[in-house]
Amino acid sequence: MSQRWRPYIVVAGIIEQDGRFLLVEEREEDGQITLNQPGGLLEAGESLVQAVTREVLEESGYTFFPETFLGAYHLSYRMQDGADVSYLRFAFTGSVGEQAKQDLDPDIVRTHWMTKEELLACPDRHRSVVVMQCIEDYLAGQRVPLTAVSRYTSMDI
Protein backbone atom coordinates (compact mmCIF):
# COMPACT_ATOMS: atom_id res chain seq x y z
CA MET A 1 0.00 0.00 0.00
CA SER A 2 1.48 3.35 -1.01
CA GLN A 3 1.62 6.22 1.43
CA ARG A 4 -0.92 8.95 0.83
CA TRP A 5 0.55 12.27 -0.36
CA ARG A 6 -0.03 15.29 1.86
CA PRO A 7 1.20 18.87 1.65
CA TYR A 8 3.34 20.39 4.37
CA ILE A 9 1.41 22.97 6.39
CA VAL A 10 3.62 25.87 7.39
CA VAL A 11 3.09 29.17 9.17
CA ALA A 12 5.04 32.43 8.96
CA GLY A 13 5.12 35.71 10.84
CA ILE A 14 5.27 38.89 8.76
CA ILE A 15 6.57 41.45 11.22
CA GLU A 16 7.38 45.07 10.39
CA GLN A 17 8.85 47.75 12.63
CA ASP A 18 9.84 51.20 11.41
CA GLY A 19 9.91 50.11 7.75
CA ARG A 20 12.01 47.00 8.40
CA PHE A 21 10.89 43.39 8.30
CA LEU A 22 12.03 40.60 10.60
CA LEU A 23 13.81 37.85 8.68
CA VAL A 24 15.92 34.87 9.62
CA GLU A 25 18.95 33.46 7.88
CA GLU A 26 18.51 29.70 7.84
CA ARG A 27 20.81 26.91 6.76
CA GLU A 28 19.16 24.52 4.31
CA GLU A 29 19.89 20.77 4.20
CA ASP A 30 22.32 21.37 1.31
CA GLY A 31 24.23 23.97 3.37
CA GLN A 32 22.89 26.98 1.47
CA ILE A 33 21.93 29.94 3.67
CA THR A 34 18.64 31.61 2.73
CA LEU A 35 16.44 34.44 4.00
CA ASN A 36 12.93 33.71 5.18
CA GLN A 37 10.28 35.04 7.50
CA PRO A 38 10.35 33.23 10.85
CA GLY A 39 8.01 30.26 10.77
CA GLY A 40 7.79 26.53 10.32
CA LEU A 41 5.65 23.45 10.37
CA LEU A 42 2.30 23.11 12.10
CA GLU A 43 2.54 20.47 14.83
CA ALA A 44 -0.16 18.03 15.90
CA GLY A 45 -2.66 19.55 18.31
CA GLU A 46 -1.85 23.18 17.46
CA SER A 47 -4.00 25.87 15.94
CA LEU A 48 -2.39 27.94 13.17
CA VAL A 49 -2.12 30.92 15.55
CA GLN A 50 -0.46 28.78 18.24
CA ALA A 51 1.96 27.41 15.65
CA VAL A 52 3.05 30.80 14.32
CA THR A 53 3.53 32.16 17.84
CA ARG A 54 5.72 29.17 18.77
CA GLU A 55 7.70 29.19 15.51
CA VAL A 56 8.50 32.92 15.60
CA LEU A 57 9.83 32.51 19.14
CA GLU A 58 11.88 29.40 18.28
CA GLU A 59 13.39 30.92 15.14
CA SER A 60 13.90 34.55 16.18
CA GLY A 61 13.75 34.73 19.98
CA TYR A 62 10.88 37.25 19.77
CA THR A 63 7.49 36.73 21.39
CA PHE A 64 4.99 37.19 18.56
CA PHE A 65 1.55 38.73 19.00
CA PRO A 66 -0.51 37.80 15.92
CA GLU A 67 -2.96 40.52 14.92
CA THR A 68 -4.25 39.63 11.45
CA PHE A 69 -4.11 36.92 8.81
CA LEU A 70 -2.19 38.01 5.72
CA GLY A 71 -2.99 35.12 3.39
CA ALA A 72 -2.51 31.52 2.32
CA TYR A 73 0.20 30.68 -0.22
CA HIS A 74 0.63 27.42 -2.12
CA LEU A 75 4.08 26.40 -3.30
CA SER A 76 4.81 23.29 -5.36
CA TYR A 77 8.27 22.01 -6.21
CA ARG A 78 9.79 19.08 -8.02
CA MET A 79 12.82 18.02 -6.01
CA GLN A 80 16.08 16.90 -7.61
CA ASP A 81 15.15 13.30 -6.80
CA GLY A 82 11.91 13.74 -8.79
CA ALA A 83 9.61 13.91 -5.76
CA ASP A 84 6.78 16.43 -5.88
CA VAL A 85 6.47 18.54 -2.73
CA SER A 86 3.80 21.09 -1.83
CA TYR A 87 3.66 23.61 0.97
CA LEU A 88 0.60 25.48 2.20
CA ARG A 89 1.90 28.60 3.94
CA PHE A 90 -0.36 30.54 6.29
CA ALA A 91 1.09 34.01 6.92
CA PHE A 92 0.17 36.21 9.86
CA THR A 93 0.99 39.81 10.70
CA GLY A 94 1.58 41.16 14.15
CA SER A 95 4.02 42.70 16.56
CA VAL A 96 6.81 41.38 18.74
CA GLY A 97 8.09 42.06 22.22
CA GLU A 98 11.73 42.29 23.23
CA GLN A 99 14.08 39.64 21.87
CA ALA A 100 14.80 36.99 24.51
CA LYS A 101 18.30 35.69 25.05
CA GLN A 102 17.76 32.08 24.07
CA ASP A 103 19.12 29.50 21.69
CA LEU A 104 17.42 29.61 18.32
CA ASP A 105 16.47 26.57 16.24
CA PRO A 106 19.67 24.81 15.12
CA ASP A 107 19.19 25.72 11.44
CA ILE A 108 18.87 29.46 12.18
CA VAL A 109 22.10 31.40 11.67
CA ARG A 110 20.85 34.84 12.77
CA THR A 111 17.98 37.32 12.59
CA HIS A 112 17.84 40.53 10.53
CA TRP A 113 15.61 43.57 10.23
CA MET A 114 15.57 44.45 6.53
CA THR A 115 13.84 47.04 4.37
CA LYS A 116 11.90 46.12 1.26
CA GLU A 117 14.69 47.63 -0.82
CA GLU A 118 17.33 45.50 0.90
CA LEU A 119 15.23 42.40 0.21
CA LEU A 120 14.70 43.38 -3.43
CA ALA A 121 18.47 43.65 -3.81
CA CYS A 122 19.05 39.97 -2.96
CA PRO A 123 16.28 37.80 -4.50
CA ASP A 124 18.71 34.89 -4.98
CA ARG A 125 18.98 34.62 -1.18
CA HIS A 126 15.22 34.29 -0.59
CA ARG A 127 14.03 30.83 0.49
CA SER A 128 11.22 31.11 -2.06
CA VAL A 129 9.26 33.65 -4.09
CA VAL A 130 6.72 33.77 -1.26
CA VAL A 131 9.14 35.76 0.94
CA MET A 132 8.77 38.84 -1.24
CA GLN A 133 5.12 38.15 -2.08
CA CYS A 134 4.22 38.32 1.62
CA ILE A 135 6.05 41.66 1.94
CA GLU A 136 4.24 43.03 -1.13
CA ASP A 137 0.85 41.85 0.17
CA TYR A 138 1.57 43.34 3.58
CA LEU A 139 2.56 46.71 2.09
CA ALA A 140 -0.56 46.66 -0.10
CA GLY A 141 -2.65 46.53 3.09
CA GLN A 142 -3.94 42.99 2.66
CA ARG A 143 -5.36 41.82 6.02
CA VAL A 144 -8.08 39.48 7.26
CA PRO A 145 -9.26 39.20 10.89
CA LEU A 146 -7.74 36.31 12.83
CA THR A 147 -11.22 34.90 13.38
CA ALA A 148 -11.20 33.86 9.72
CA VAL A 149 -8.56 31.21 10.47
CA SER A 150 -8.45 30.77 14.22
CA ARG A 151 -11.42 28.48 14.56
CA TYR A 152 -9.95 25.47 16.26
CA THR A 153 -11.54 22.27 17.43
CA SER A 154 -9.69 19.52 19.22
CA MET A 155 -11.06 16.05 18.55
CA ASP A 156 -10.29 12.82 20.26
CA ILE A 157 -9.95 10.04 17.74
Rounded CA-CA distance 99/56 in Å is 11
- What does the pLDDT look like over 84-109, one tens digit per residue? 889 999 999 999 998 988 889 999 99
Q: Is the pLDDT of residue 1 over 70?
A: no
pLDDT beyond 90 at 79? no
pLDDT in tens, 49-59: 999 999 999 99
Instruction: Domain 8-145: give its CATH superfamily.
Output: Nucleoside Triphosphate Pyrophosphohydrolase (3.90.79.10)
| 3-state SS track over the chain | CCCCCCCEEEEEEEEEECCEEEEEEEECCCCCEEEECCEEECCCCCCHHHHHHHHHHHHHCEEEEEEEEEEEEEEEEECCCCCEEEEEEEEEEEEEEEECCCCCCCCEEEEEEECHHHHHCCHHHECCCHHHHHHHHHHCCCCEEHHHCCCCCCCCC
Average pLDDT over residues 65-89: 90
What phi and psi values does residue 132 have, to the nearest 5 degrees?
-75, -35
pLDDT tier for residue 152 given thresholds of 50, 70 and 90: low
Higher pLDDT, 134 or 150: 134
pLDDT at site 144: 95
C-alpha dist (Å) from residue 31 to 25, 105, 132: 12, 15, 22
Sequence ranges of the domains in the chain: 8-145
